[in-house]
Amino acid sequence: MNPLNRRQFLKSSTATGAGLLILPTGTLFGQNRPSNKLNIALIGVWGRGLAHYNVLKKENVVALCDVNELRFADALKVFPGAKTYVDWRKLLDQEKGIDAVVCCTPDHHHAHVAIWAMNRDKHVYMEKPIALTVEETRAVRALYLKKKNKLATQAGTQRHAIPNFQRVKEMVRDGAIGKLQGAFAWGNRQLPRPGYLPAEGSPPSTLHYDLWIGPSPMHPYNPGYFSGGPGANCLQWNMFWDFGTGQVGDMGNHTMDLAWQAIDATHPTSVEAKGDAFNPEVTPVKMEAHFEHPANDWRGPIRVSWYQGKVFPTMPKKFIDPDGIGHGAMFKGTGGVLLADFNSRMLIPEAKADLTEYKIRPKAQQIPPIGDFQEQWINACKGDPTKTSCNFDYNGLMTEQMALGLVAYRAGKKLKYDGKTGKTDDATANEYLGRKYRAGWTLNG
Ligand SMILES: NC(=O)c1ccc[n+]([C@@H]2O[C@H](COP(=O)([O-])OP(=O)(O)OC[C@H]3O[C@@H](n4cnc5c(N)ncnc54)[C@H](O)[C@@H]3O)[C@@H](O)[C@H]2O)c1
C-alpha cells in the first residue's frame, strides 16, 4: 500500500474506534489491530531512545538509525527485521513507507531531523529541546503550523502528563493566587566545563563520528563525549554551544513547561539576562533570564523568569529552599504564591488576601488526564493529529523564548523582541539568533 493510502486507512480505522472496517481481504482494522500499526523510524536507538521501546514495540518499527553501529544488536532484538542506517538523511530519503519518526539524537540534530521529516510528511516525536536557536525553533514551528492538520508532533517533555501539571494550571487559571503577575522556573543542575574536550585517541571504526558532529562545526574526537550512562549521556555534551544549550534545553525545557502550560503566553516583547562570564565554548552554568509578556484575554501583562545553576528567584518565605526543590516553578499573584515541582504544589496565600471566590475544581470539571505521553502522540498519528499536549507550536514558542534568553545573555543587555519577525532591536544580538552549518547539512532539506 502506498504511504498516502496507508495513512488514510490508519485514520479511518481509528475513527471507527472499535475496528469495524473490514477490508476485501477480510483484514480487520482498528485501534491496536496489526494492520493499524504505524510504520516508525527510530533515530538514536540507545540512551533516551530506550525509554520509547515499550510504546514503539506495539507499532512497526521498520527502520533504525544510530551513528554507533554497536547499538544495533540490542535494538534489533526488540525490533527484528528493521533496516539499519547510520545517517538519518539517508533514512529519511530512502524509507518511503514510514508514517512517523521518533528522534532521540543529540540536540544539535533536532531541528534538522524535525524539518526533514515534516517536509516528507512524517509525524514527529522529537526529544527535547526541539531546536538549539531562536531561528531553528521558529523554522520548526512555522513548518509545523503549515501542516498541523495532517501531522502529529510531540516534543519530549513527558513530565507534562503528570497530573500535578494540570492541577497547577487549574489553580492559576481559577484564581488561587488572585490575578497572575509573574511566573518563575528554575533548575539547580550544575555541569561546569572549561571548554570542548581536547583531542584524545581516534573514534572506533563502529562509531561514525563525522555523522555525530553532523551540522555543527568539527571538534576533535574525545571518548568523554560518549562516556555517560543510558539516558544520561546528554550530560557529556549538552553544555557545549555546538551540541546543546546547557540547562536551557536540558531541565529548562521540562521545568519551564510546568510554568508555560499555565500562563498561556506567546512571544515576549523584551528579554534581559545575566550570568557567568561568557565562554565561547561552553554555555553558562549560572544564568537568569527575564521576559516581558503582553496581556491576553484572561490576564494582564506578566514577567516570566528562568533561573539556572543555583541562582534562584526570591522565595515568598525564608523557610522555603529553592535548592531543596531542585527544579521548580512559582506563580506570583495579587493574592499569594503557588509553588510547584513536577509532582507536588503548595499554595501560600497573602495574609490579607480574600480568596473566598477561589474554589477547587470538582473532579468532573478538572482538565482530563493525558495518560501515557508517548501513546498520546501515537494515537494522534492514527487519528486527530492535533490531539497532542506538547506540539511544536506550544513547545516551539516556549523553546524560542528560552533560546532568546541565551541571546540576551550573550548580548549582555536588555533587548526588545518582535515575535512577528523574530528579531531583536540590536544588530549584534541578531547575529546570535541562528548558527552556521557545516557543508552538506541543510536545515530545510
Ligand atoms: N525527555 C527526557 O526526560 C530526556 C531524558 C534524557 C535525554 N533526553 C534527550 O534525548 C536526547 C538524547 O539524549 P541521550 O542522553 O540519550 O544522548 P546519547 O548521547 O546517549 O545519544 C542517544 C543515541 O543517539 C545516538 N546518536 C548520536 N548522534 C546520532 C545521530 N546523528 N544520528 C543517529 N543517532 C545518533 C547515540 O549513539 C545514542 O545511541 C537529547 O536530546 C536529550 O536532551 C530527554
pLDDT level of residue 177 (50, 70, 90 thresholds): very high
- For the entire predicted model, the pTM comes to 0.94
Work out the number of other CB atoms within 10 angstroms of the CB of residue 285: 20
User: Is 146 inside a domain boundary?
Assistant: no
On the question of a cis peptide bond just before residue 129, with omega within 30 degrees of 0, the verdict is yes
| pLDDT tens sequence across 210-265 | 999 999 999 999 999 999 999 999 999 999 999 999 999 999 999 999 999 999 99
Residue 2 confidence (pLDDT) above 90: no
Relative to the CA of 48, which ligand 1 atom is closest?
16
Q: What is the pLDDT of residue 24?
A: 35
In this structure, the residue with its CA closest to atom 36 of ligand 1 is: 44
For range 302-306, the mean pLDDT? 98
Q: Say which residues have a Cβ less than 8 Å from residue 391's Cβ, sequence separation at least 6.
A: 144, 148, 152, 153, 154, 155
User: Is 320 inside a domain boundary?
Assistant: yes
For range 365-388, the mean pLDDT? 98
Give 227 Cα–ligand 1 centroid separation in angstroms.
13
User: Is 206 inside a domain boundary?
Assistant: no
User: Is 250 inside a domain boundary?
Assistant: yes
Give me the phi and psi of 424, to 5 degrees please. Answer: -95, 180
Relative to the CA of 232, which ligand 1 atom is closest?
15
Relative to the CA of 214, which ligand 1 atom is closest?
31
pLDDT level of residue 25 (50, 70, 90 thresholds): very low
Residue 34 confidence (pLDDT) above 90: no
User: Is 215 inside a domain boundary?
Assistant: no
Ligand 1 binding pocket includes 101 (Cβ within 6 Å): no
Into how many domains does the chain fold? Answer: 1
Q: What is the pLDDT of residue 43?
A: 99
User: Is 216 inside a domain boundary?
Assistant: no
Ligand 1 binding pocket includes 125 (Cβ within 6 Å): no
Domain holding 421: CATH number? 3.30.360.10
User: Is 415 inside a domain boundary?
Assistant: yes
User: Is 142 inside a domain boundary?
Assistant: no
Residue 14 confidence (pLDDT) above 90: no
Please write down the HEC assignment for all residues of 218-242.
CCCCCHHHHCCCCCCHHHHCCCECC
Ligand 1 binding pocket includes 44 (Cβ within 6 Å): yes
Q: Quote the cell numbers at residue 169.
A: 494550571
Residue 13 confidence (pLDDT) above 90: no
For range 283-297, the mean pLDDT? 98
Ligand 1 binding pocket includes 67 (Cβ within 6 Å): yes
Q: Give me the chain's average pLDDT, please.
A: 93
pLDDT > 70 in the chain, percent? 92
Q: What is the pLDDT of residue 358?
A: 87
Segment among 7-21, 84-98, 189-203 with least mean pLDDT: 7-21
Domain extent, residue 322, equals 163-191+246-367+397-430
Residue 221 and residue 218: Cα distance in Å, rounded?
9
Residue 17 confidence (pLDDT) above 60: no
pLDDT level of residue 355 (50, 70, 90 thresholds): confident
Relative to the CA of 71, which ligand 1 atom is closest?
39
Residue 110 confidence (pLDDT) above 90: yes
Give 106 Cα–ligand 1 centroid separation in angstroms.
5
Cα separations in angstroms, 124 against 41, 121, 130, 151, 221: 10, 9, 10, 8, 30
